[in-house]
Amino acid sequence: MTQKALGFGVDIGGSGVKGAVVDLRTGVFVGERVKIATPQPATPEAVAEVVGQIVDECAWEGPVGITLPSVVTQQVARTAANIDESWVGTNVHDLFTQALGRETISVLNDADAAGIAEVAFGSDTARSGAVIFLTFGTGIGSAFLVDGTLFPNTELGHMLVDGTEAEHFASSAAKDREELSYKKWAKRVDKVLHEYDRLFNPAAFIVGGGISRHADKWVPLLTVDTPVAPAALRNRAGIVGAAMAAQDHVAP
């Protein structure tokens, strides 16, 4: 296998920082995924150090793609809903270049990364027409896809639904926090999807994040007319999309 067929992705989340070598032809991990708890407080310096440890542990020397739960434009983090506020305004390319001692780094939003991985390695649905890809985790992430092309940095998790930000009541963290049954939580997700549907009229929703593993428990309870498909890549998607972005030099 040539080095070019391999990439490296790191997914930075509220609870864990995860990285793996990715086979870019298949979207499958090569070797173990390494996970380290997100340092608290999750400042840029502390997180960058953990990313460095993961890259070292995997003895990876090539380009690195990194996801953040933030809007990222011109390689600067613009928001920090579920990470330390000091990320706002941080030049993430410079931060990780220094921490990892290499230049070839792409940083992008976590849901955008997962969306592009789903386009490459998921079902045809992700590549057909206007699709809204969503991740349910600590927050709600979104990626807008048109025939497989990404419109980056949409932030649907923060859209007000009945006066409350969608992710505050319908993320999977909200389900855990409030100890909601799938039935109760699905009602909330349904409300959010109805609102997205009303405003954006996509051909399909694709739902990802860890909780998509249990899609059979809640997707059938949704009443929105637009088809809702579980993501094929589940929570592998962020790492795979990050590795793809680094290889393609995608840097929103």
By CB under 6 A, name the one of 69, 115, 122, 152 that touches ligand BGC. Answer: 69
Nearest in space to 43 (alpha carbons), one of 12, 5, 8 = 12
118 binds ligand BGC, rule: CB under 6 A: no
- Nearest approach, Cβ of 13 to ligand BGC (angstroms)? 7
Per-residue x/- mask for ligand BGC, residues 164 to 203, rule CB under 6 A? ---x------------------------------------
65 binds ligand BGC, rule: CB under 6 A: no
Per CB under 6 A, the segment of 48-56, 76-84, 92-100, 181-189 that binds ligand BGC is 76-84
Per CB under 6 A, the segment of 16-24, 74-82, 179-187, 189-197 that binds ligand BGC is 74-82
CA pair distance 236, 99, nearest whole angstrom: 24
By CB under 6 A, name the one of 65, 110, 222, 242 that touches ligand BGC. Answer: 110
* Nearer Cβ to ligand BGC (125/154): 154
- Nearest approach, Cβ of 234 to ligand BGC (angstroms)? 15
Own/partner pairs for 13-18, CB < 8 Å, 24+ apart?
13/38, 13/69, 13/110, 13/137, 13/138, 13/238, 14/38, 14/42, 14/69, 14/82, 14/83, 14/137, 14/138, 14/139, 14/173, 15/138, 17/47, 17/50, 17/51, 17/54, 18/54, 18/238, 18/239
Size of the site for ligand BGC (CB under 6 A): 17
Q: Is 212 helix (H, G, I), strand (E, B) or coil?
A: helix
* Nearer Cβ to ligand BGC (90/138): 138
**Contact at 8 Å (CB) between 72 and 250?**
no
- Nearest approach, Cβ of 153 to ligand BGC (angstroms)? 8
**Contact at 8 Å (CB) between 169 and 188?**
yes
DSSP letters, 66-106, are EEESS-EETTEE---SSS-GGGTT-BHHHHHHHHHT-S-EE
* Nearer Cβ to ligand BGC (71/170): 71
135 binds ligand BGC, rule: CB under 6 A: yes
* Nearer Cβ to ligand BGC (44/157): 157
Backbone angles phi, psi at 194, to 5 degrees: -60, -40
Residues contributing to the site for ligand BGC (CB under 6 A) = 69-71, 79, 81-82, 109-111, 135, 137-139, 141, 155, 157, 167
